[in-house]
Amino acid sequence: MYLLDAAPAVPLDLILGVVLFWLLIGVAGVLRPRSLRFVSRLLFPLGAVGSVVLMLAALLAVRVPPVVAVLPLGLPDLPFHLRLDALSAFFVMLVGAVALGVSLFSVGYFRRGEGALPGLLCLQYHVFLSSMVMVMLADDAYLFMVAWETMALSSYFLVTTSHRIAEIRRAGFLYLLIAHIGAIAILLCFGVMHGGGGDYTFDALRASELPVFWASTAFLLALFGFGAKAGLLPLHVWLPEAHPAAPSPVSALMSGVMLKTAIYGFLRITFDLLPTPLWWWGVVTLVLGLMTALFGVMFAAVQSDMKRLLAYSSIENIGIIFAGAGLAIIFHAYSNPHLAALALVATLYHCLNHAFFKSLLFLGTGSVLHSTHERNLGKLGGLIRNMPWVAGLSLIGALAIAGLPPLNGFVSEWLLLQAFLFSPGLPNPYLNMLVPLGSAALVLAAALSGYVMVKFYGVIFLGRPREEKLNEARDAGIWERLGLAWFALGCIVFGLFPMAVILLLDHVSLPLVNFTLSAAVSGNSWLLFAPVAAERASYGPLLLLLGITGTLLVTFVAVRVFYHGRTRRGAAWDCGYPEQTSRMQDTAEGFGQPITQIFEPFFRVRRQMPDPFSSEPVYAKTNEDHLWYWLYLPIARANERIASWIGLLQHGRIHLYLLYSFVTLLALLLFMH
């Protein structure tokens, strides 16, 4: 620490150094684009080293005061402004942490003959990482948009790695389209905040005193723009298409970090750049977030493609994060810094957790995909025998995402629930009554996500293999295991030592809502974690772990010693079915069936029932998204209709075209006259 006191700019220099280093690695990849050995044995490990440096530098930067810098790049008279404060440092740390695991995993992941050349992939991958860091560091709207668009474009190319498949091209197009619509909204948001005076540095935007109407407009534009990137309802449609299309490490990065850049942007604008928020901003965010969470988890439960399932689960988690942000806005608007800090810390904590467990699971599906060439849950099963490492590490991720203690998913959801349950302290009677209802929705989403994870894990890894070829599946290599283990370690550590994370997040919440939880936390012992007051609620993860381990041990010993002491061996009762095949297991569709039944109005279900007398019965069922038909297709059709009206102008006769310009010229001349 003494080193940092002497030179507070060191972390920023280090981070910029890593960005430059990554870009160089990317360029190096292009020099020998065909050599898989060179790219994956040398460049990706080097990139991983860079991410370690990045993560540590950002970890230090969270604790020091903000540092600003001006890069002499960009347009003349329009240099890039940089600023590294606690919020950016936290998210940069997220980038570094996830990039470390994903880069390690990628060393062993990319194979010859899959999609793009390894060198190109390396370039796009590292440009993608660098642009995300630059988004966090940007201190003017100009650099922010440049980095934001670089991020969108590089990730587009990563998504369309296997661009020879039409479906993947379509997914990529949809992604690019929505990313650009969102970017336009963000651009407009900056324009509104700018208000016609000064320049576009964030300092100028902070200083501009917006009237309430324009501040609200800017907020809604930001919600729309960043929501499009994050996958907020109803702009989520690209997520379940793009994630399965991308290679698994890319899905992990996109879901783990790229969605968080949207959260970062949203928090930056709402809490930092705009004036004190209005309460209804928070309500809008909260409601949208809860709807997104429920929608995502419902659709995740009925998917039968493992990566689509995870993509919908990402939508759910983004919904939870936005709900937390909305709650923080409400508390902040009513000047309740303690609860605002609680909600904000829960939100940031969930960002961190989601980055870890979702990356872990996406990488796990990558390993499964590579050894089985199968994404369809209906053709997987029983992989725990052949792939014990992947199965074991994925189990940690699945438990964490399901929100089970003592892993990390539980902590953030518990914190968020605390924030919800304290809302009766608000001075608005309607919110008093309605916000606790939101907590019910949150609990429902959390419970359903547990259901989803049982399905995900059970169908892939447990039971018996549903196909012959699964018996030849091989476990992941050492590099892939390393990547997975890094994320699994994160899930455990953040679950067991929440106080350490909270102390870190306090540095982030302090400048945004002027309050820290550290007083509340440090007042208690390290064993017991109580965010508000020990008598209201407290949580001791280590104690819980001790309890769980103890109970397990006692049970194990008891069963082993006392029960097994009088075991009889005999033929198992086979339920009257002498021959059991792997097809008699519960399928992914079967497991999701209750959800389809209960929430049928939310799905657009299409069933193809077999004829009772058919000798080759076929049963098929698809669950589609109503929003696609109610919102997107009408817009697309309207667009087409308008285009065809405009097409009427096109006659192919050059005289008419000349006449158009002639009439325009005359009209303009007359007008100017």
Kindly state the number of chain residues that form the binding site for another protein, as judged by CB under 8 A. 17
Contact between 658 and another protein per CB under 8 A: yes
Min dist CB 652 to another protein, Å, is: 4
Among 440, 533, 666, 667, binds another protein (CB under 8 A): 666
Min dist CB 224 to another protein, Å, is: 32
Among 662, 664, 667, 671, binds another protein (CB under 8 A): 662
Distance of CA 38 to the CA centre of its chain: 31
The DSSP secondary-structure symbol of 611 reads P
Give the residue with the Cβ less far from another protein, 615 or 661: 661
Give the residue with the Cβ less far from another protein, 635 or 654: 654
Nearest to 347 by CA among 336, 359, 339: 339
Contact between 546 and another protein per CB under 8 A: no
- Crossing angle of helices 166-194 and 238-245, in 10° steps, is 130
Is the dihedral angle over the CA atoms 70, 58, 144, 252 positive or is it negative?
A: positive
Min dist CB 657 to another protein, Å, is: 9
Stretch that binds another protein, among 92-100, 246-254, 547-555, 663-671 (CB under 8 A): 663-671
Min dist CB 654 to another protein, Å, is: 5
Buried b (16+ CB within 10 A) or exposed e, 49-64: ebbebbbebbbbbbeb
Residue partners of 604: CB distance under 8 A and separation at least 6: 623, 624, 625, 626, 629
Give the residue with the Cβ less far from another protein, 6 or 672: 672
Give the residue with the Cβ less far from another protein, 576 or 652: 652
Which value, in Å, is the radius of gyration of the alpha carbons in the chain? 27
Residue 635 amino acid letter: I
Give the residue with the Cβ less far from another protein, 527 or 668: 668
Stretch that binds another protein, among 35-43, 429-437, 461-469, 651-659 (CB under 8 A): 651-659
Among 166, 576, 669, 671, binds another protein (CB under 8 A): 669
Beta-carbon count within 10 A of 203 CB: 15
Min dist CB 343 to another protein, Å, is: 53
Report phi then psi at 104, rounded to 5. Answer: -60, -45
Residue partners of 452: CB distance under 8 A and separation at least 6: 297, 300, 301, 309, 313, 402
Give the residue with the Cβ less far from another protein, 566 or 653: 653
Residue 351 amino acid letter: C
The DSSP secondary-structure symbol of 366 reads H
Helix (H) or strand (E) holding 280: helix 279-301
Q: d(Cα 412, Cα 96) in Å, to the nearest integer?
A: 21
Distance separating the N- and C-terminal Cα atoms of the chain: 71
Contact between 667 and another protein per CB under 8 A: no
Contact between 31 and another protein per CB under 8 A: no
Contact between 113 and another protein per CB under 8 A: no
Q: How many CA atoms lie within 13 A of 485 on its CB side?
A: 10
Question: Scanning the structure block, which residue is given the tokens 């059970």?
Answer: 458
Contact between 566 and another protein per CB under 8 A: no
Q: d(Cα 537, Cα 286) in Å, to the nearest integer?
A: 23
Nearest to 296 by CA among 274, 323, 269, 272: 323
Q: d(Cα 273, Cα 203) in Å, to the nearest integer?
A: 8
Contact between 652 and another protein per CB under 8 A: yes
Min dist CB 661 to another protein, Å, is: 8
Q: d(Cα 354, Cα 342) in Å, to the nearest integer?
A: 18
Contact between 647 and another protein per CB under 8 A: yes
Min dist CB 636 to another protein, Å, is: 17
Min dist CB 634 to another protein, Å, is: 21
Give the residue with the Cβ less far from another protein, 213 or 645: 645
Stretch that binds another protein, among 274-282, 295-303, 624-632, 641-649 (CB under 8 A): 641-649
Among 567, 614, 615, 644, binds another protein (CB under 8 A): 644
Stretch that binds another protein, among 54-62, 274-282, 361-369, 662-670 (CB under 8 A): 662-670
Give the residue with the Cβ less far from another protein, 1 or 654: 654
Give the residue with the Cβ less far from another protein, 557 or 659: 659
Contact between 653 and another protein per CB under 8 A: yes
Helices of type H across 7-140: 10-31, 36-37, 44-63, 86-109, 118-137
* Residues found near another protein in the complex (CB under 8 A): 644, 647-648, 650-655, 658-659, 662, 665-666, 669-670, 673
